[in-house]
Structure 1
């Protein structure tokens, strides 16, 4: 096996995963959402997300030579308790979102469509699964090949693109402006998660901020 991961191989991995996730959305997640409700639906969707994203991360990291990664795949799971910027950014995200919701809704109110099952998907599963695959593997490889700024820009744009399969299967169909707004937001968040990962050399700051963003947006939007 080559001791580095070529740009061609890396791009192919991204494209293949994008196609796999689109097929999963069409063939598994959409039928689950149509035929199940409540906790059975939630557990089935969570299991699918974990199997595809975490399974993909484990497979890709297992096949990647150590020299191809900027951050050791085992050490990236160690919490960096001394990373002060992580605490500051987490607090800033909380204040920003709560202030935005307060201004928009003239106070904090729980979204009437919010259900307890969302705590599993948007707080526990999505952040861990997406950070593990995207920052723990894809961005990790890019950091070895490019500068932080270039690697972070590439992975942030790719991260936004990986949300397109979900948007394509969202019912009702999203408007063009919603598409653009969502993709810009996801790309910006992807860049933030990438910066946290690169500077802390740990997955946990990004996971914490990612989970907090997702659950607050789901709870109060």
Structure 2
């Protein structure tokens, strides 16, 4: 493969991906809101899989000439990934328990709807980590040192949340500043865990766990 093509196709992919995601958030969501909860959740999940996962699998197969699951880190280092998953999960759980029970005095709310379970907790960890850690971070590390690649990936990770925040009316100061910082730090952590564990499953699990904890406490 031509070296220039190999370096630049990920940016074409991301721009296209970002445009499709904006269309989904700003246009399709308005239509989805007219549907009943379960069909809306399933339709949203299908759209997310089509936009997030399928293009990455095809790109890895065609452009990288590798088995997608192996390239993304979904077939190896399960034991090491499990170790990192355990430590990271313990840190996140401890943080949320201490923050919400001793400082903020929040209660746990176990009323989580089907759409939140499917799209915010279960599917988000899979889709976002395949795109950002499994694919983008992996590709950027071919051209940059890890911390530079991780920083670029994290900035891109923030940007993909902009359409969601804009649609929900949250794209305003100071929310946008504090939330962007939180997302950036989380992405840096996810990237570090991915590099150290060598397993994408580790960050898929802790990403979904983090979203579950947010749903329970906020």
TM-score clears 0.5 = yes
Q: CA deviation at 1:13?
A: 2.3
- The TM-score normalised by the length of structure 1 is 0.86
Query: What is the distance in 2 between the residues matched to 1:42 and 1:62?
Result: 29
Q: Which residue in 1 is equivalent to 2:214?
A: 217
Task: Please give the per-residue CA displacement for 1:147-176, whole angstroms capped at 9, x wherever unaligned.
Answer: 111111111111111111211211x44432
Q: Across the two proteins, how many residue pairs are aligned to each other?
A: 216
Give, in angstroms, the shift of residue 82 of structure 1. 2.9
CA deviation map 1:166-221 (0-9, x unaligned): 11211x44432111111111111111111111111110110011000011101211
In structure 1, the gaps of 5 or more residues are: none
Structure 2: gaps (5+ residues): none
CA contact (8 A) 1:57 1:136 kept: no
Shift in alpha-carbon separation, 1:6–1:75, aligned structure 2, 3 A: closer
> Displaced runs of 4+ in structure 1, greater than 4 A?
3-7
TM-score by length of 2: 0.87
The 3-state SS of whatever aligns with 1:86 is helix
**Aligned to 2:142, what secondary structure does the other structure show?**
helix
Aligned partner of 2:157 in structure 1 is: 159
Partner of 2:126: 128
Q: 1:199 to 1:173 in 2, by over 3 A?
A: closer
Distance in 2 (CA, whole Å) between partners of 1:131 and 1:43 is 20
Matches within 5 A, 1:139-154: 139-154=137-152
Q: 1:75 to 1:131 in 2, by over 3 A?
A: closer
Which of 184, 195, 198 lines up with 2:195 in the alignment?
Answer: 198
Structural mapping, 1:157-196, within 5 Å: 157-170=155-168, 172-196=169-193
State the Cα distance separating 1:98 from its structure 2 match: 2.1
Partner SS state of residue 85, structure 1: helix
> In 2, Cα distance between the equivalents of 1:28 and 1:183?
24
Residue 108 of structure 2 aligns to a residue in which SS? Answer: coil
Q: Which residue number in structure 1 is paired with residue 71 of structure 2?
A: 73
Give yes or no for the alignment of 1:12 onto 2:12: yes
Structure 2: how far apart are the matches of 1:94 and 1:57?
A: 31
In structure 2, distance between residues paired with 1:219 and 1:30 = 26
